[in-house]
Amino acid sequence: MMSRFWSPLVHSLVPYVPGEQPKLANLVKLNTNENPYGPSPAAIAAMQAALGDDLRLYPDPDADVLKQAIARYYAVDKSMVFVGNGSDEVLAHVFHGLLQHGQPILFPDITYSFYPVYCGLYGVKYRQIPLDDSFSINLSDYGCRNGGIIFPNPNAPTGVLTPVAHIEALLQENTGSVVVIDEAYIDFGGETAVPLTQQYPNLLVIQTLSKSRSLAGLRVGLAIGHPELIEALDRIKNSFNSYPLGRMAIAGAAAAFDDVDYFRHTTSAVINSRVTLCNELAALGFDVLPSAANFVFARHPGHDGSTLTQALRERSVIVRHFKAPRIDQFLRITVGSPEQNAALVSALRAILQR
Ligand SMILES: *Cc1c(COP(=O)(O)O)cnc(C)c1O
């Protein structure tokens, strides 16, 4: 569609397409990396307490209670914390406020497909650096002049982890531009780069409450970095929407960060299920990339990725498939509950035996 009422920018946009949220009941939904467990009961209680007459009042524009909870959890100063309406919004402000310079920014050829979308929205030039043959990010390939570097750790949609020591080596070399680590899945077995933000003023770490804290529906994301970087994000935010987080989101997210026991319990349950799922997929003949996330990336040497995705859908199991070069034979499968994973495995067994 085209319209003479659209700005030239709108004509040029190629928007991100999120994984579908089907309205059908009884689906085994393993396509958008949601957590199979509910949010912390303490987070639900905090949101219920926030649900009342106070909703007539605007929320705290600085979401102080939430920033304090995050600062406590990571033992950083509150001035190093930024929060937004999902990490997708935080990332948008990062592209707009910290990555838009003359030089192209660098990110992997296979990565979160929202990055090129933000580049289109904000006019950021970029260069894609190929993953190596084992689908790992090789940071020694990121040595050229750049306007910034961004990648998820673990990477999406591969699940492959980059060791924090490699990130520190990159930071020692790359001092002239911002390095952004998108840690959407770090809590499922990786080591966070947050402590390095104390030492490297050009490091910004992004996280979300959508995956490991089971709050995708609440829309809360965050960034941690030097106050100078946070100030840029605050300036953008306060030129865009002063109140990105509502009262319920601030209360629920803060309580989720405080409930460390529940968080540890549910993330380790997901990690254990991932180990089981990887073994079962391997037994069915799949090549499974080593995952440190709450999803696995797997291909079958004898079955086409798109055909398998469709066959699973016919059995009410929804997984994600990307029609991109190098990865079009893979399925990205969210680690679900033990029951969901068992349903996936038995559907696959039936399909492969056909
Ligand atoms: C899920 C995801 C996000 C977005 O998370 P929200 O906080 O729900 O917007 C960001 N980056 C990566 C790599 C993700 O997989």
323: nearest Cα among 336, 309, 302: 309
* In the chain, domain spans: 8-38+261-352, 41-259
* Cα angle 207, 212, 215; round to 5: 85
The β-bridge partners of 295 are: 334
pLDDT band at 26 (very low <50, low <70, confident <90, very high): confident
pLDDT at 23 over 90: no
- Ligand 1 contact via 221 beta carbon (within 6 Å): yes
Q: In this predicted model, what pLDDT tens digit does every residue of 334-354 receive, in sequence order? A: 999 999 999 999 999 999 997
Q: What is the CATH number of domain 8-38+261-352?
A: 3.90.1150.10
Amino acid at 17: V
Q: Do 267 and 292 form a contact (C-beta atoms < 8 A)? A: no
pLDDT at 175: 97
Read off the pLDDT band of 241 (50, 70, 90): very high
Rounded to the nearest angstrom, the distance between the alpha carbon of 115 and the centre of ligand 1 is: 11
Structure tokens at 119: 């580049």
Residue 266 Cβ contacting ligand 1 at under 6 Å? no
pLDDT of residue 20: 79
What pLDDT digit, counting tens, does each position of 199-225 carry?
999 999 999 999 999 999 999 999 999
Atom of ligand 1 nearest to the CA of 89: 9
- Kindly give the distance from the C-alpha atom of residue 191 to the centroid of ligand 1, in angstroms, as a whole number: 18
Q: Which of 15-24, 149-158, 271-280, 315-324 has the lowest mean pLDDT?
A: 15-24
pTM of the predicted structure, to 2 decimals: 0.96
**Centroid of ligand 1 to alpha carbon of 351 (angstroms):** 31
Cβ count within 10 A of residue 34: 19
Indicate the average pLDDT of the chain. Answer: 97
Distance CA 30, CA 36 (A): 9
Q: Residue 2: its pLDDT value, please?
A: 86
Q: Which class would CATH give 41-259?
A: alpha beta
